[in-house]
Structure 1
Amino acid sequence: MSTRPRTEPSSGRSTTPYSRPRVEPFRAAVTGVGLVTAAGVGAGAAWSGVCGAASGPSVVRRPELVDLPCDFFYTITGLDTKAVLGVAAQRLMDRFAQLAVIAAREAVADAGLDPSVWDSGRVGVVIGSAHGGLPFYDEQHDALTGRGARRVSPKLAPLTVVNGAASSVTLDLGIHGPSQAVSTACSSGTVAIGTAHQMLRTGACDIVVAGGAESSCTRLLLASACQMKAVSTRREDPEAACRPFDTHRDGFVVGEGAGLLVLEHPDHARARGATVRAHVDGYGASSDAHSTVAPDPDGLGIERALRAALADAGLSPSDVGHVNAHGTSTVANDLIEATMLHRVLGEGPLVTSTKAMTGHTLGAAGGIETALTVLALQHQLVPPTVNLDAPDPAIPVDVVSKEARAAGFDCAVKTSLGFGGHNAALVLTRA
């Protein structure tokens, strides 16, 4: 346990004579959205799913998890990756990279971009993932221990590294600009989009494909999560197990998916007459320096990130009308985050957690949830937090539940927290 003194978020005053240079606000244009989730495959289907049009989330039991307290997870159904990608290409990617490529194709097509004619050297890729190719790693470990070293695939390294998704997207779309992977646990996707925002601001790229991808439901990971008591053990009703902000929440449920955006420099988007769905106006990040697994109990770390994002956007807390929260369905995280949101933003914004429909997709969560925030701004509709049957009276914010709520708002926030104390926040505005 840290013994450092508790401090309030920085007021912006420096303890040295150095004066921070002023950075002008920058509005990155979101021109494309790609989603592959348990709530639906494709942006339209995923949006309908989280808004309640679908029959419910796709939560399945896995036979290899049968002896664990949590034997279920959110999986993507109705997606034949072999048919979409081709057998040869699929074999060169772990599943998280496959999902990233499918989401990237949709986002680029949605943006009206043609990879055969764009200036590929001015296009970048930033994709976050917490675990990379964990399933293939586990598979190859079993091959080593069960059948010997000669049975281990020579593709282990390229298929399991965290940059596998970013690499696969560049190969698939012929992108020659800068590409990188972000791995900041469950805030990875949000940090990736923030990094893309900075790349566009500095002029490093004209276009960046950014977000997160994850597919890491393995016996080893779930066994560890059960030991940590981080996941729900509601085996009798798995579809209702993930219940953010509910009095009876008992942990998250792991999911798989990918959420990618096409972000463009506003001048580039304007010059080609692109349709802009929304803007990313501000980004902030911070570190708790508190614990490897638990968030700062006062929420000061995520508060710093949120205040930094608002300052970066040149906006005030009163401008925010909607928050897509991290909202994992764990007892401590939900209360800490909600208390922080109330402290910074007050009672005005409509808050939701879409994880009850997508699962907690770990490093992909920020990418998926930022994409859903873009759609919320576009449709002027806040998706519900499903399974919120008994709202926790200690939660001090207005959490949308039961059904989607229509509302007029021009500014929305996405917050993310990750193991190790990695916090990130994005400020988005209506196009």
Structure 2
Amino acid sequence: MSADKYRIVITGIGLVAPGASNKEDFRTQVLAGRSGIQEIDLRYFGKAAAGLCSFEETRYRKKKENKKGTRAGCIGVYCAHEALLDAGLEEGFYRQDRTGVYVGLTEHGNVETENEIYHLKGYDYDVSYWTHHHNPRTVLNNPAGEITISLGITGPHYSIGAACAAGNASLIQGVQMLRLDEVDMALAGGISESTGSFGIFASFKAQGALAEAVSPEQACRPFDSKRNGIVVSEGGCIYVLERLDRALQRGARIYGELVGYGMNSDARDFVLPFDERQAQCMQLALAKAGLQPDQIDIVSTHATGTKQGDAEECRAIRSVFQNAPNTYVNNTKSIIGHAMGAAGVLELAANLPSFEDNLVHPTINLTELDPDCALTNLVVDRPVELPRIRTILNNSFGMLGINSTVVVQAWA
């Protein structure tokens, strides 16, 4: 392969987020610091702050198909079609059997299982009323598979279970498969349908990690001294990834180049994060990118609004970027909540337009900074304009101690 065949670029973006159903509206939302969080009322659980998505669910497939499939599949199909449309790909430019679909998930199947058990209750738990759709709905590859069925893609598809690091992990998988010449184009991203599961809310509450606030818009408070937990959100984001030489060949618009990545494991605890391993993950990504910390313009943080989680990541960032006075830091979850498997890819999408407008979007709901979360150049309340933005380092960390970092560079 020529050198350009090893360079992987982003040429299409399709997304749904709490408050936006396309990348333009999403950028407007995050620059304005407008929260997408609202109050929901879940059966068995009650009221909670959450991030829900609104989009045209029947734009790319019929209502009957959505009913047969899953909420995650519905989000995935919409995002994949939007990404391909955004990429401007002509039909047949890439062979269907040389296209891969890689979808990051934190969990899958909880929503369908809870719904079926609730339905069965009305039939005195007679399992003869259990739906025959249950198995294909709950297998882990479901959202990726639904995308291939909708688009007629016959290349490889699978989901990547990497907790809340899964979105970044899917991008890494897409890069690797393209560099290995296993595929010629990749649809890679992440999806969350977590707001449909009362069990997820109940579990976070039992851990003392579910955010509560007087108003739902203020519930997600990363770095704030009064932060008290996670806001659960749904959402999705799918990217079109191509080799640079083919993207140039067809005159594609290039959003950025994936120049570095890192993944590692804490190997320490089921839930609690570890700053030392997170710092090592960032260093791995920087080394692969051939960049020094002071060459990063934006650090997009994972911070979820939990007490220990935010403090651990901030310690990691301080250790890596202590000699990087021109690196700026922000957080997208404060605006849209925690979209689990979609978190990393949505947060990257929130920041990618910085390469064009040179603006760093703000962190919101930060009224009293926790000293343990003090970071140089933390952007709060309103955007900061820089002379030029060329590099973004995007963090995503998850339960069981899985860490992922992706570095994206402006292409020119």
TM band (smaller chain): over 0.9
Instruction: Provide the rounded CA distance (Å) in 2 between the counterparts of 1:127 and 1:89.
Output: 20
Matched, 1:232 2:208: no
Matched, 1:113 2:89: yes
C-alpha change, 1:193 and 1:171, in structure 2 (3 Å) is same
Instruction: Provide the rounded CA distance (Å) in 2 between the counterparts of 1:26 and 1:246.
Output: 41
C-alpha change, 1:403 and 1:140, in structure 2 (3 Å) is same
Aligned with 1:169 (options 147, 152, 158): 147
Aligned with 2:309 (options 320, 326, 333): 333
Instruction: Provide the rounded CA distance (Å) in 2 between the counterparts of 1:301 and 1:275.
Output: 36
Letter in 2 for 1:200: L
Deviation at 1:24, TM superposition (A): 11
* Coordinate RMSD, CA, aligned: 1.9
Q: 1:16-415 to 2 correspondence within 5 Å?
A: 26-52=6-32, 54=34, 56-64=35-43, 67=46, 71-77=48-54, 79-82=55-58, 84-115=60-91, 117-147=93-123, 148-217=126-195, 218-234=197-213, 236-296=214-274, 299-346=275-322, 347-397=325-375, 398-407=377-386, 408-415=388-395
Instruction: Provide the rounded CA distance (Å) in 2 between the counterparts of 1:152 and 1:89.
Output: 19
Deviation at 1:84, TM superposition (A): 4.8
Give the TM-score normalised by structure 2: 0.93
Deviates more, 1:256-265 or 1:391-400: 391-400
Letter in 1 for 2:374: P
1:205-240 superposed Cα distances (whole Å, 9 cap, x missing partner): 221110100112222221111001111122x22110
C-alpha change, 1:63 and 1:419, in structure 2 (3 Å) is closer
Give the TM-score normalised by structure 1: 0.89
Cα pair 2:37 2:49 within 8 Å, conserved: no
1:42-73 superposed Cα distances (whole Å, 9 cap, x missing partner): 1111111111175x324122152664xx6221
Deviates more, 1:250-259 or 1:405-414: 405-414
Where 1:41 maps in the other structure, the secondary structure is: coil
Instruction: Provide the rounded CA distance (Å) in 2 between the counterparts of 1:173 and 1:314.
Output: 37
C-alpha change, 1:366 and 1:130, in structure 2 (3 Å) is same
Letter in 2 for 1:195: Q
Partner of 1:20 in structure 2? none
Please list every run of 5 or more consecutive structure 1 residues that lacks an aligned counterpart in the other structure: 1-22
1:403-427 superposed Cα distances (whole Å, 9 cap, x missing partner): 1211222111001110000100001
Deviation at 1:284, TM superposition (A): 0.7
Where 1:71 maps in the other structure, the secondary structure is: strand
Deviation at 1:25, TM superposition (A): 11
Identity %: 29
Please list every run of 5 or more consecutive structure 2 residues that lacks an aligned counterpart in the other structure: none
Deviation at 1:85, TM superposition (A): 2.5
Where 2:284 maps in the other structure, the secondary structure is: helix
Instruction: Provide the rounded CA distance (Å) in 1 between the counterparts of 2:94 and 2:203.
Output: 45
Matched, 1:420 2:400: yes
Where 2:353 maps in the other structure, the secondary structure is: helix
Deviation at 1:293, TM superposition (A): 0.7
C-alpha change, 1:352 and 1:25, in structure 2 (3 Å) is farther
